[in-house]
Structure 1
Amino acid sequence: MLLIRKLIPSSYLVSRFAQTATTDFYGFKNLSVLYNNFRPEYPDRLLDYIIDDVKSRQKAPPSLGIDPTPVISCALDIACGTGLFTRKLAPFFKRTVGTDLSEKQLKVAAEQNEGDTEYAKFDAYDVEGMLRHFSLQPSEVSLISVATAMHWLDFDRLAEKIVEVFPAGATSLAVTGYLPAQIMNQNILNNDIFGGSSLNVHGELRDRYEKKLDLYSQLYDHILHEKLRTYMNFDFECLISKYQTLPFEKYFRHHKFFQVCLVNEKTLLDLVEFVRSTSFYQLFMEVNRDKIRQGLERDPIEMFAYSILEMEGFFDDKKIDVRRQDDLEAQMRKVKFDTLWTFFVHVVHN
């Protein structure tokens, strides 16, 4: 690990991202706002795939791109968080409702609501209660969505409840997710994740990367997969497998899988705030707060950020005043690199 010449003041994090421990892992102070602002937007191609499947089973013509006309009755987004995916679904349905157990997540969702979505607090398995609350019949729900949340849930328990409550042939279940961002490097490019048809783009991308990006990627992976790994209070292996380990065929006769890989330019600040929007980072900070204040532990994402800034030369000739948060963030916005985002969805029904 690269040694850092200059240590970031712990007051930078404590003053801005102070937490309060709760049983809600998204109840840390400011976490829901970070989550809503710095989590990636689900790509339209993923939405198209889901909506085409639902329409095809309801005798509606498949969409050619994003169709803003609501032609399907209702979508129920379980464990909706701040409504990132709920809002993406809304243009396609006559009614779109979302539920979550986190009051703070739902508060942010309500603040983002433009009148086309409804939200309520529910346990993910209480689907009968959700139907009663929203005055819905099971047959009116064309789609049940669980977006980047199944690794928090008991799949068997939820699947059994869906099969029990919703009539066969009427409702699709879309289990979507995305992998943590990866910094593009030579190993990713060599794996040809874009497929043979994209080799030209692949070759053009290869020329843009320098050896230092491999080190950036190693530092970032060390933070996510080593330093913070034990604080991931969910089934991380299930998420990394793209939910392939879940027994979909045990409960549903029809099962389709689709994934989209996107490369987006992000700033160092974007990546830092993305990690800060995770519950496992917040849990690390909560558990180690006293050690950090005493200088016995370091904030891992700040170590990462300062490592990158040091390698980029921003500390030379005192380019950064470490006492100024706005100066630090301004420099982090100047460091840019491409990140790989892998989105995926399982669409199942009976």
Structure 2
Amino acid sequence: MTSFSICSTLKYFNRNIYSFHCLHFVSFAAQRFSTRTYQMSALLHKSTDVVDYFGFENQPKLYHSFRPEYPQSLVNFIIEKTKQKADSSNSGKCALDLACGTGFLTTKLAPHFGKVYGTDISEQQLKEAQIHAVAENVSYAKLSAYDIDETIKHFNIQSSDISLVSIATAIHWLDTHKFLTNLVNSIHRDTTVAVIGYIIPDIMNQSLMDEKRHEATKNSSIEIITENKREQPYDQKFERYEKIFKQTKMEQYSVLEQFENYIQFNLTHITSKFWSIPFENYFKHREYREYLVAKEMSLHELVEFMRSTSFYQAFRKDNAKEIEKGLVEDPIILFASQILIEEKLLEKNMKIDFEGKIYIEAMRSIRFDVMWTFFIHILNN
């Protein structure tokens, strides 16, 4: 039994083979690129320590609109495991959300702490976070995740004031040894650390959903969260889209090779759900949880999620003139166009316009079931 996802679709376009489970493709990509991208990232951080991969025009808006929200069960787990409990009446205790992006996790932590401080190196991401800021006890600042001491000084707090340090969907961008060393040397021994990530979604049918539920019953660290309103997944859609992907032939270019030079993070950390990071060298205790979120998703949401990625935005910027002249294909446009053509919502040999209302509505009409995999490591000494 196989499922297919964004990743597996790209792999099929690349090699004209049957779609695979997302992790199979990502593992393949990791073996090919992770060593090179890790070395490249290490060099970048060594030379500047500050690299903003999320400052492209309109990217923060896409990021905030189409990235998944962290499930409340995950947030509850963080609060439960935070050693020094804090609430709005205890203004002395705070949470520090490093590499906070547009504030997805920061805002969810706000009801549970006297103060929550979010930091990021991207001015554009922080501007978007400020737009969506609703809690009065949340503050943001442009600071590097490496500079814990500077962050503590900037917000005029003591290390003993910090009940929680979180870093969500970001540690794979960092030199983990440097980051964890700085972190351990800067925080109080009673501070809880939460390291969070997710893997891009798998498209599901009923059989695959049942397999996941069965897996969860055997593993107490896995929780399945169902957000679908329907009782049964779109099985007919699954089979039809799988057939579309199998029949699609793209022999003129390699999607994977086009994106290769734009993957600047350590892909192995993502595919391993951060188990490749030796947290045990820095913390005495680790507790792991996994949350599988089943929900409905449209083709438009899936496409916009891909457009929010750093490697896609870098690819577009670097190839803008060639794409405009028709010398280079945009893989995401090609992917979405092929689906719309097969669904008879777009004429053959036409390409979609992401901003066109008619195309947006057409992509919104195509819906399927997906499952996101979120994971968290709770660390403390």
**TM-score, normalised with respect to structure 2:** 0.75
What amino acid is the match of 1:178? Y
Residue deviations 1:243-270, cap 9 Å, x none?
1100010010000110100111111111
In the other structure, the counterpart of 2:345 is: 314
Q: CA deviation at 1:318?
A: 12
User: In 2 relative to 1, CA 31–131 (structure 1 residues): closer, same or farther, beyond 3 Å?
Assistant: same
Counterpart position of 2:96: 76
Matched, 1:180 2:200: yes
Amino acid of the structure 1 residue aligned with 2:204: M
Partner of 1:8: none
Say yes or no: does 1:285 pair with 2:316.
yes
State the match for 2:64 in structure 1. Answer: 36
Q: Secondary structure at the match of 1:211?
A: helix
> Residue by residue, what CA displacement relative to the aligned partner does 1:218-255 show, whole Å, maximum 9, x if unpaired?
78xx9986653442111112112111100010010000
Give the Cα–Cα distance (whole angstroms) in 2 for the partners of residues 189 and 152 of structure 1: 31
Are 1:129 and 2:150 counterparts?
yes
2:46 aligned with 1:26: no
8 Å CA contact retained: 1:223, 1:304: no
The code of the aligned residue for 2:373 comes to T
Q: Which moved more, 1:189-198 or 1:300-309?
A: 189-198
Q: CA deviation at 1:164?
A: 1.1
SS for the counterpart of 1:36 is helix
d(CA) in 1 for partners of 2:66 and 2:89? Answer: 28
Taking the aligned partners of 1:29 and 1:194, their CA distance within structure 2 comes to 43
Once residues 32 and 338 of structure 1 are traced to their aligned partners in structure 2, the CA distance between those partners, rounded to angstroms, is 26
- Displacement of 1:147 after TM fit? 0.4
The answer on 1:239 being equivalent to 2:265 is no
For each residue in 1:285-331, what CA deviation from the matched residue of structure 2 results, as whole angstroms up to 9, or x when unmatched?
A: 11221221121111111111111111111136999997981111111
Change (3 A) 1:91 1:215: farther
Give distance in 2, aligned partners of 1:230 and 1:193: 37
Query: Which of 242, 256, 265 in structure 2 is aligned with 1:214?
Result: 242
Distance in 2 of aligned mates of 1:267 and 1:260:
21
Partner of 2:357: 326
Q: Which digits, 9 at most, give the CA deviation of each residue in 1:183-229, with x for residues without a partner? A: 22588447536526499x9x95485654223246778xx99866534
Which amino acid is 2:76 matched to?
A: D
From the superposition, tell whether residues 187 and 231 of structure 1 become closer, same or farther in structure 2 (CA, over 3 Å): farther
Match of 2:3 in 1: none
Q: Give the share of equivalent positions with the same residue, in percent.
A: 38
Across the two proteins, how many residue pairs are aligned to each other? 317
AA in 1 matched with 2:167: V
2:76 matched to which residue of 1?
48
TM-score (norm 1): 0.81
Assess, with a 3 A threshold, how the Cα gap between structure 1 residues 273 and 206 changes in structure 2: closer, same or farther.
closer
Name the residue aligned to 1:157.
178
Identify unmatched segments of 5+ residues in structure 1. Answer: 3-21, 61-67
Which of 128, 134, 137 is equivalent to 1:108? Answer: 128
SS at match of 2:114: strand
Unaligned runs of 5+ in 2: 1-11, 14-49, 218-222
1 CA distance for matches of 2:51 and 2:130? 21
Report if aligned partners of 1:184, 1:213 keep a CA contact under 8 Å in 2: no
User: Which secondary structure does the structure 2 equivalent of 1:167 belong to?
Assistant: coil
Out of 108, 112, 115, which is 1:92 matched to? 112
Q: Determine if the alignment matches structure 1 residue 298 to structure 2 residue 325.
A: no
Does residue 228 in structure 1 map to residue 259 in structure 2?
A: yes
Match of residue 118 from structure 1:
139
Q: Distance in 2 between matches of 1:76 and 1:323?
A: 36
